[in-house]
Every structure is written in C-alpha cells, then in structure tokens.
Amino acid sequence: MKGTSVWFLFIAMAVGTFALRFSFIYLFGKVDMPDWLRNALKFVPASVLAALVFPALVYSEGALDVSLNNIRLLAGIGGALVAWRTKNVMWTIIVGMVLFWLLGSL
C-alpha cells in the first residue's frame, strides 16, 4: 500500500474514529448508552492489546516458538515486567529493546 491509498486508509480510520468520539456527545439527551454496552466496552483495550502482543512474542519468523531460542519472547517477558510495574510506554520500549539487542548479540 503506497502513495494515495494510504491517505484513503487514514481517512477511513479517522472518519470512524471521529464518529466514535462524537457518538454520545452528539446523542446526549436523545439516546443513553445501554448498560450492557458500557460494560462490554470496558474490556476492549485489554483484549485487543493482548491479541496484538501475544502472537508477536511467541511467533518467531512465522513459526510458533516458546523456547529459550526465541529472543522476542525473552525480551518481551522483560518488557512485560517493566510494563506491569511502570505502565509507561517509553520505559517498556527502552528496556525491551535493550534486552532484544543484548540477547541478539549473544
């Protein structure tokens, strides 16, 4: 995907995202958010983010690899500890990348 088509992608992302942001601010007084929906939405970030992270750590070059040879998994576990303690994106990246480089150079 190159050139003009990435702009179509950005616009499609943005239009939907704006609609989500505006949704209940616009609908205020007309429609209330149903409780079941409010309840389900609480779980969106944890679920989606885990679905992005887990495969990226346990797959190495397209194959499942949960051994000590998988440096992404090892560095990811180190990063996860930092993420758990700090909840900070920058520190997690710094520690995880340093581990990734160190393990890769062994």
Partner 1 sequence: MKSKQKDFLSGARDSLPILLGVAPFGLICSVAAISVGLTPFEATGMSFVVFAGASQLAVLQLLGEGTVWIVMVLTTWVINLRFTMYSASLAPYLQTEPVLRKIPFVYALSDQAFGVSMTKFANEVPKNPAWYFYGSVSIIWFTWMISAIIGALLGALIPASWGLDFAFPLSFLALMFAAIKDKATVVAALVGGGTAILVKGLPYNLGLILAATLGIAAGVFAEKKMGGAK
Toward partner 1, which CB reaches closer, 46 or 68? 46
Least CB distance to partner 1 at residue 73 (A): 10
Q: How far is the CB of 106 from partner 1 (least distance, A)?
A: 14
Query: 54 or 69: whose CB is closer to partner 1?
Result: 54
Please return the burial class of 74, using the count of CB atoms within 10 Å of its CB with bins 0-12, 13-18 and 19+: middle
Q: Looking at beta carbons only, is 27 or 68 nearer to partner 1?
A: 27
Minimal distance in Å, beta carbon 81 to partner 1?
A: 10
Integer Cα distance of 65 and 23 in angstroms: 42
Residue in the structure block whose two tokens are 């998988």: 70
Token pair of 71 as six digits: 């440096």
Would you say 99 and 105 are in contact if contact means Cβ atoms under 8 Å apart?
no
